[in-house]
Amino acid sequence: MSQRPSPHPWIAALRVGLDGLEKALLQGDAPAVERASAHVQAVLQRAPKTAEFAVPGSTLREDMLAAAQRFTQLRQAVLRAQAQSQRAVRSLLPQQAPETYGRLAGQNPSTGGAGRAYLSA
């Protein structure tokens, strides 16, 4: 069995950034999430040139795909947490919940339902 070569330095930095982001998310530490997100963005800005992904024997492409999958999972976790927070706020402060439907400015109320616009995606 052959030993897997050590990861590209950029992949190693990306993994460290994703580890920090995951840790901050699990701890619910918003400032740490902001810092970790900025770190990940900075690492992504220093991505290797496209040609480096095609070097024979390089695992950079596979490592990048694995990192992208992990980032997707973290993003989904953030979206789920955001939805839970929004539901909690709406249950605690129902008057603060934004309206889903509202009137368009300048629409005549005699138009019935045609004067209403969908406001949220």
Model's pTM, two decimal places? Answer: 0.66
Determine the average pLDDT of the residues in 31-56. Answer: 92
Q: Give residue 105's pLDDT.
A: 53
Q: Give residue 82's pLDDT.
A: 86
Helix axes 30-45, 9-27, angle to 10 degrees: 160
Instruction: Using pLDDT thresholds of 50, 70 and 90, give the confidence band for residue 50.
Output: confident
24-37 pLDDT, tens digit per residue, is 999 989 899 999 99
Q: Tell me the domain boundaries of the chain.
A: 9-97
Helix axes 9-27, 60-92, angle to 10 degrees: 20
| Residue 28 falls in which region: left (phi positive, over 0), alpha (psi -120 to 50) or beta | left
Q: Give residue 85's pLDDT.
A: 86
80-117 pLDDT, tens digit per residue, is 888 888 898 888 887 755 555 555 555 555 545 444 44
| Helix residue spans in the chain (DSSP H) | 9-27, 30-45, 60-92
3-class DSSP state of 3: coil
Asked if residue 47 has pLDDT above 70, the reply is yes
- Residues 6+ away with beta carbon under 8 Å from 37: 21
